[in-house]
Amino acid sequence: MQNDLVTEKVIIVGGGMVGLSLALMLAKQKIQVQLLEAIKYPIFESEGEIPYHSSFDARNTALSRRSVQIYQQLGLWDLLQVHATPILQVHITEQGSFGKARLVAEEEKVESFGQVIENAWLGRVLLTEVRKEALIELIDGVKVTELNQDQDQVHIEANRGEEALKLSAKLLIAADGRDSFCRQALGVGVDVHDYDQVAIVTAVQTSKPHQQVGFERFSPLGPLALLPLPGEYRRSVVWPVKKGTEHEWLGQENDQHFLDALQHTYGDRAGKFEKTGQRFCFPLSQVLAHKQAVGRVVLMGNAAHTIHPVAGQGFNLCLRDAFVLLRFITEQLEASEDIGQPEMLLAYEQSRLEDQKRVIKFCDSVVRGFSNSNPILKLIRNTGLVAFDVIPGIKPLVANYAMGLKA
């Protein structure tokens, strides 16, 4: 790609999966990117190695069909699909209750409801492609210390070891996480709800093949997601439990105790839970920024909205945000307009609010609704699961929203 084709430059602060994805989107539009990440990225010594990084760790991501389409448009899906497993069915049940619901891809006339990929593999593929891209300058191990803006540009100062950096651009995208420095520097407040939960995350092996079936099982301990992974008998586990109880499930000495709890919760649906990997834990809260566009800065990813993982919608929502922002930026380029124009960024923010509010409300409602042990509420929600399974027209609507196709 020739330098004379480069039209603009954008700074992205935060090199997690959202930041890496957005950098590749922008480079595809011949936009130069300076991508800043606080943690040093790993160097991959072999093809099968996936050392964890803080941004792509032991967790797994259920990529919606819309997210898969976005990566297809970027030309990345063939590289990602090698490490992904399709979800052909979704079963939703509550332990000790009669209600159940089932979604089947074939019945909904879709190839799959999405694809499950380990974050470490997703991160490795994205990082490898970013390192190949001449238009992306990757600056890792850097701490941003100042952010200010004037009428024409955003200016940041940062430190990388002993080196002091001063960078400027017409547009800065802050994708620097739930505790975003950039958001705080802009004076943007947040609404925070602590769910008083910690997510236990790992991979397990079962005696029955997963057959590309995903389970969402609501239990007294918390909502438990069991999703298929590459390998016929491997499944990912995301189990939010009450904060303060997580140590009961962590550590090699608790392997059998953890497997027994899974067995008790799921019964024989997955067969025998035979092996578990190392468990990791992550605190769960909802953090919503009061604004997502301030002057020439736009908040992206968890800096804009961090939500509960119960329905696996967080990253998919962020990726849709990024793709829509790309459309707004591309339209500005085609019209030879300023890509950091504050009015354009406010228009982007407004365009995303409906989708964001719908997803945030849905995830929060599921957590609150299934966390209540009131017998009347339990009857109502199980009746709702039965209704979902038998009333015509509901499944296609819900399936399309879950796949991100209504955004």
The per-residue pLDDT for range 384-406, each reduced to its tens digit, is 433 434 444 444 544 454 444 45
Q: What is the per-residue pLDDT for 6? A: 59
Q: What is the per-residue pLDDT for 91? A: 80
Count the Cβ atoms, other than its own, within 10 Å of residue 397: 10
Which pLDDT band, with edges at 50, 70 and 90, does 344 fall under?
very high
Degrees, nearest 5: CA angle 214-360-376: 75
DSSP secondary structure code for residue 391 in this structure? S
Query: In the block, which residue shows the tokens 């954008």?
Result: 10
Q: Please give the Cα distance from 68 to 111 (Å, whole number).
A: 12
Q: Both tokens of residue 289?
A: 């920024």
Least confident residue range of 58-72, 245-259, 366-380? 366-380
Mean pLDDT in residue range 298-327: 91
Q: State yes or no: pLDDT of 16 exceeds 70.
A: yes
Q: What is the per-residue pLDDT for 380? A: 40
Q: Give pTM, 2 decimals.
A: 0.86
The overall average pLDDT reported for the chain is: 84
Q: State yes or no: pLDDT of 236 exceeds 60.
A: yes
Q: State yes or no: pLDDT of 93 exceeds 80.
A: no
Q: Are strands 31-37 and 136-140 parallel, antiparallel or unpaired?
A: parallel
Least confident residue range of 131-145, 213-227, 266-280? 213-227
User: Hey, what domains does the chain have and what are their CATH numbers?
Assistant: 3-61+120-192+286-365 (3.50.50.60), 79-119+194-284+370-402 (3.30.9.10)
Q: Please give the Cα distance from 63 to 87 (Å, whole number).
A: 10
Amino acid at site 153? Q
Q: State yes or no: pLDDT of 213 exceeds 60.
A: yes
Mean pLDDT in residue range 375-381: 42
Least confident residue range of 65-69, 103-107, 156-160? 103-107
Phi/psi-derived region of residue 102, left when phi > 0, alpha when psi is between -120 and 50, beta in every other case: beta
